[in-house]
Amino acid sequence: MHTIETPMLFDSPRTLESLGIPDADIRFVHDFFVPLEANDYFKRLTTDTSWTQPVLRVWGKDHLQPRLSCWYGDPDAVYRFSGKTFRPHPWTPALQCIRHKIQGATGFHFNSVLLNLYRDGHDSIGMHSDNEPELGPMPVIASLSLGATRIFRLKHRHNAFAPVSIALSNGSLLIMAGQTQERWMHGVRKDTQDIGPRINLTFRRILTA
Ligand SMILES: O=C(O)CCC(=O)C(=O)O
Ligand SMILES: [Fe+2]
């Protein structure tokens, strides 16, 4: 397995660097927020988010999603799924601040954000691509991580490129763009270590009617 070492020293802070992953456009900065700022957002989002734990139906069996989540955004950023329309919660001041800062750094506009809370090492997200039709072709997704470091894994969908692991630490920002969703899957496995909570925010642009 190919592991990308995230540069800590001699790296100009807050610059999005391409990770050079083939067939993808993935950029990363380890200190988008300095620890003090990241810790402050982590605390605010832990308490101020309307966390839910949806039930997922997998192979005809119901399972509790192995993490908590909540979705925020503009009123018209709606998802349609199984004949239902899902509307986001309205932006909170903290989420608006984070959104504006990420928009400034990337030059992209995001109209929604999905928050995931991994309570400990038992929580996870399975391998998937964020390729829902509402995101359109070649979506740009900005992923901010707060709290405990977890390993983000990427696996190519069609060929034998080596899987990639990236340590997503407190305050880091990862951008997935171009063909990343079409060609690669990503996920965060359970971790056997005694690991603290982590919040991940994926900012997205949903195509509106
Ligand atoms: O927690 C992460 O780093 C990934 C979350 C993710 O892939 C998603 O919400 O679609
Ligand atoms: Fe995802």
CA of 10 relative to ligand 2 center, distance in Å: 30
| Nearest of 71, 70, 79, 77 to residue 111 by alpha carbon | 77
CA-proximal residue: ligand 1, atom 4 (nearest): 187
Ligand 1 atom nearest the C-alpha of 118 is: 1
Q: For residue 14, what pLDDT band results from cuts at 50, 70 and 90?
A: low
**30 Cβ inside 6 Å of ligand 1:** no
- Spatial contact of 160 and 22, defined as CB atoms under 8 Å apart: no
| Mean pLDDT of the chain, nearest integer | 91
CA of 129 relative to ligand 1 center, distance in Å: 10
pLDDT of residue 142: 98
**pLDDT tens profile 172-203:** 999 999 999 999 999 999 998 799 999 999 99
Angle at which helix 93-106 crosses helix 35-48, to 10 degrees, equals 140
pLDDT of residue 167: 97
**174 Cβ inside 6 Å of ligand 1:** no
Residue 123: enclosing H or E segment and its boundaries? none
**How many Å separate Cα 51 from the centre of its chain?**
16
Ligand 1 atom nearest the C-alpha of 198 is: 1
Mutate to test the pocket of ligand 1, among 68, 152, 169 (most ligand atoms within 8 A of CB): 152
**pLDDT tens profile 147-166:** 999 999 999 999 889 999 99
- Interface predicted TM-score (ipTM): 0.99
pLDDT of residue 9: 41
pLDDT of residue 8: 42
**pLDDT tens profile 46-69:** 999 999 999 988 889 999 999 999
Q: CA–CA separation, 50 vs 75, rounded Å?
A: 17
Ligand 1 atom nearest the C-alpha of 150 is: 3
126's CB contacts (< 8 A; 6+ apart) are 187
**166 Cβ inside 6 Å of ligand 1:** no
pLDDT of residue 114: 96
Q: Which letter does DSSP use for residue 198 in this model?
A: E
Cα R_g (the chain), whole angstroms: 16
Check residues 128 and 15 and name the one with the higher pLDDT. 128
Which ligand is closest to the CA of 125, given by its number?
A: 1
pLDDT of residue 86: 84
Domains of the chain: 17-204 (2.60.120.590)
CA of 202 relative to ligand 1 center, distance in Å: 7
pLDDT of residue 50: 97
pLDDT of residue 85: 81
pLDDT of residue 56: 85
**pLDDT tens profile 97-134:** 999 999 999 999 999 999 999 999 999 999 999 999 99
